[in-house]
């Protein structure tokens, strides 16, 4: 059996849509082509935004597309549980390790103060403006004084001397300057653990070797690589696929029509139409034609996937719907 392990990790805060299907299909094909193990993980760590019924719907939608998984919330596996809300103790242990090594510090900045930073130049485009180290430089006395008025978040102290360099499987060589994006939050003031920390802990614990995900997360990779290094964990290989955009240049969403998988199914669209359409966009088919996901495994080629965002014109959408 191959030691290649990949995953798809949806957040059950909304209905699965074409953008989710795009990432899920390509991540699945990458691993199945290499006879690897494919893991499904539910990233529901932000409890107020996530709903159990949406998690169930996501499983149903993926099965309708013809995708399967070797480990997951419904089938179990050696690294269970596969739902983030049941893995909180693992994130706590990681934060304790980072605290002991001096990598974390409390941040007392209010939302208003952080909003004011928004006018500053962005360090990482998808991650917002770089944090200006306001609380990094506080003395013990100043921290104690602020603690009286506000519960702090916890920020990771980035390395300000070493640049981040990695080879992305689709985007190519990526170079980020030292401290890219500034110090970042790993636990919010309300106690919710950040995506950055949770995804690193989970991917490492589950032995994930290959992560294929949307290009909007490319800028998150430097921060995650810093966490892998600080925790002494092995980082996976990364490949970031281009985003699907509407004609207005914005990410494909409800404003471009009902792009939810459940909605398309209800409208009579067959899953093979969606798979064939996405495979065509990904350069895996020379022309658009209905096809089952399993039929694409033998010919899948990561190098054929475009590197630039893909604009979905209305005429192309109509080819899917008709």
Is the pLDDT confidence value at 316 over 70? no
pLDDT class of 111 with cuts at 50, 70, 90: confident
**5-86+242-321 CATH, one of 3.40.50.300, 3.90.950.20, 3.40.630.30, 3.40.50.620:** 3.40.50.620
> Catalytic residue at 150?
no
Helix (H, G, I), strand (E, B) or coil at 244: strand
Residue range(s) occupied by CATH 3.90.800.10 in the chain: 88-197
Residue with more model confidence, 276 or 251: 276
List pLDDT tens digits, range 49-72. Answer: 788 899 999 999 999 999 999 999
Please give the average per-residue pLDDT across 17-32, as a whole number: 97
3-class DSSP string for 225-238: HHHHHHHCCCCCEE
Averaged pLDDT, 110-138:
71
Q: Is the pLDDT score of 300 beyond 60?
A: yes
The region of weakest confidence among 75-84, 158-167, 254-263 is: 254-263
Q: Name 98's Cβ contacts closer than 8 Å, sequence gap at least 6.
A: 104, 156, 186, 230, 231
Select the CATH number that applies to the domain covering 88-197 from these four: 3.20.20.70, 3.40.50.1240, 3.40.50.1950, 3.90.800.10: 3.90.800.10
Beta strand extents in the chain (DSSP E only): 5-8, 37-40, 104-107, 122-124, 128-129, 153-156, 164-168, 172-176, 184-187, 210-214, 237-241, 244-245, 310-311
* pTM of the complete model beyond 0.85: yes
Q: What is the pLDDT of residue 315?
A: 64
Kindly name the residue from 250, 254, 265, 318 that is annotated as catalytic.
254
- Label residue 131 by pLDDT band (50, 70, 90): confident
Within 8 A by CB and 6+ apart from 143, the residues are 106, 108, 135, 152
Domain with CATH 3.40.50.620 in the chain: 5-86+242-321
Average pLDDT in the 178-197 region? 93
Place 320 in a pLDDT band, splitting at 50, 70 and 90: low
Band of pLDDT at residue 160, cut at 50, 70 and 90: confident
Residue 189 backbone dihedrals phi, psi, to 5 degrees: -65, -25
pLDDT band at 212 (very low <50, low <70, confident <90, very high): very high
Check whether 257 has a pLDDT greater than 70.
no
Long-range contacts formed by 112-121: CB under 8 A, 24+ apart: none
pLDDT at 140 over 80: yes
């Amino acid at each position: 059996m191959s030691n290649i392990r990949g995953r798809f990790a949806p957040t059950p805060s909304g209905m699965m849509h074409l953008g989710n299907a795009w990432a899920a299909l390509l991540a699945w094909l990458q691993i199945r082509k290499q006879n690897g193990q494919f893991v499904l993980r539910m990233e529901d760590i932000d409890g107020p935004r996530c709903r159990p019924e949406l998690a169930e719907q996501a499983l149903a939608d993926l099965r309708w597309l013809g995708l399967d998984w070797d480990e997951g919330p419904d089938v179990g596996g050696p690294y269970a549980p596969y739902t983030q809300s049941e893995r909180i103790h693992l994130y706590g242990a990681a934060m304790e390790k980072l605290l002991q090594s001096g990598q974390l510090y409390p941040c007392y900045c209010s939302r208003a103060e952080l909003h004011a930073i928004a006018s500053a130049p962005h360090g990482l485009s998808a991650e917002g403006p770089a944090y200006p180290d306001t609380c990094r430089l506080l003395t013990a006395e100043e921290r104690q004084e602020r603690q009286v008025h506000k519960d702090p978040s916890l920020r990771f102290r980035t390395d300000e001397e070493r640049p981040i360099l990695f080879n992305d499987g689709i985007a190519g060589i990526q170079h980020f300057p030292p401290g890219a994006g500034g110090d970042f939050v790993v636990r919010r003031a309300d106690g919710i653990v950040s995506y950055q920390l949770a995804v690193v802990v989970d991917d490492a614990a589950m032995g994930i070797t290959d992560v294929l995900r949307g290009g909007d997360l490319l800028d998150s990779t430097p921060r995650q690589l810093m966490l892998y290094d600080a925790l002494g964990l092995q980082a996976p290989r990364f490949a970031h696929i281009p985003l699907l955009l509407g004609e207005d240049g914005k990410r494909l969403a409800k404003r471009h029509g009902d792009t939810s998988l459940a909605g398309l199914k209800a409208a009579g669209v067959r899953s093979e139409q969606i798979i064939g359409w996405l495979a065509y966009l990904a350069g895996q088919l020379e022309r658009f034609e209905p096809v089952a996901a399993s039929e694409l495994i033998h010919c899948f080629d990561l190098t054929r996937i475009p590197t630039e965002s893909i604009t979905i014109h209305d005429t192309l959408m109509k080819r899917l719907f008709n």
